[in-house]
Amino acid sequence: MDIERYLEEKRVEVEEALERYLPGEEDFPRTLHRAMRYSTFAGGKRIRPIFTIATAEALGRRGEEVMPLACAIELIHTYSLIHDDLPAMDDDDWRRGKPTCHKVYGEAMAILAGDALLTLAFEVIAAMDEDHDPSKVMRVVREIARAAGSMGMVGGQAVDIESQGKSVDFPTLEYIHIHKTGALILASIRAGAMMAGAGARELQALTDYGEAVGLAFQIVDDILDVEGEREVMGKETGVDALKGKATYPSLVGLDESKRRVEELIDRAISSLSVLGERASTLSAIARYIGKRTK
């Protein structure tokens, strides 16, 4: 299959759906809604929602059926980027080749835009009970909230912030990666699987897959911060080192980091064996992540 074409098609579908869920530029209060839209439509691969869609498809559902869930996860991802970029946090001026939300709309509006996107995500998921079994939707709300909360994504960001400028050991680095990035990627897959009615064995296989690709994704990010080119990445590279951030390359070296990525991608793909041919798209996405350059 042509995975790059698949990813591009789904990216367009996700963006069309996001357009439906977000308030318009002219909806009051306008500055807030413009800030929310600015960051949501600032580009990005939409890899998390595509995971949700591809997982549902692997279980015999149409991607359209899980689109609200997929978009909600992208809204959560977007809010987390806006808050992470704030001066009090990672203090980034650029993201995907554009000025960050607070550079354009100011800090207060950026904080509020993030808050509103997180809140909207739950509203969008909760509206799914019209087409789905409500107790399934509730289970998905819990899954997403746990993955995004203090024991998940926000917890990872908290430890990352506390670790800056300190010497960080490998278990702490893994904690940060697994929580800050891995948790929401894993949830995008698990929640898609739950919504699509996965059985226990299927859910376990997809969980193994999600844990492996989630960690691989972040290690690739670390590698790209060392090796990637500014023009391709749309943001400064080498910033992790400048900020004294621990990364896989800084702790175990570039070659070992790349070896770990390969190993994780192999593990992710072999986890899918119980799903058979249906999981070929998920396998291709894993392979793509192992090779991505931007």
Applying CB under 8 A, which residues contact its own copies? 23, 27-29, 31-33, 36, 79, 83, 86, 88-89, 106-109, 111-112, 114-116, 118-120, 122-123, 125-127, 129, 133-135, 137-139, 141-142, 145-146, 148-151, 154-155, 157-159, 161-162
3-state helix, strand, coil in the chain (%, to 5): 75, 0, 20
66-97 CB burial, b ≥16 within 10 A, e <16? bbbbbbbbbbbbbbbbbbbbbeeebebebbee
Least separation in angstroms between CB 250 and its own copies: 21
Dihedral sign for Cα 280, 282, 285, 287, please: negative
Least separation in angstroms between CB 1 and its own copies: 36
- Considering the complex, state which of residue 53 and residue 109 has its C-beta at the smaller distance from its own copies: 109
Q: At 52, give phi and psi (nearest 5°).
A: -60, -45
Please name which of 138, 40, 23 lies closest in space to residue 146, comparing C-alpha atoms: 138
Least separation in angstroms between CB 218 and its own copies: 17
Return the residue matching tokens 């289970």. Answer: 139
Least separation in angstroms between CB 9 and its own copies: 30
- Considering the complex, state which of residue 29 and residue 97 has its C-beta at the smaller distance from its own copies: 29
Least separation in angstroms between CB 2 and its own copies: 37
- Considering the complex, state which of residue 76 and residue 286 has its C-beta at the smaller distance from its own copies: 76
Beta strands in 46-100 (DSSP E): 94-95, 98-99
- Considering the complex, state which of residue 119 and residue 273 has its C-beta at the smaller distance from its own copies: 119
Return the residue matching tokens 């996001």. Answer: 18
Q: Give me the amino acid identity at 136.
A: K
- Considering the complex, state which of residue 156 and residue 214 has its C-beta at the smaller distance from its own copies: 156
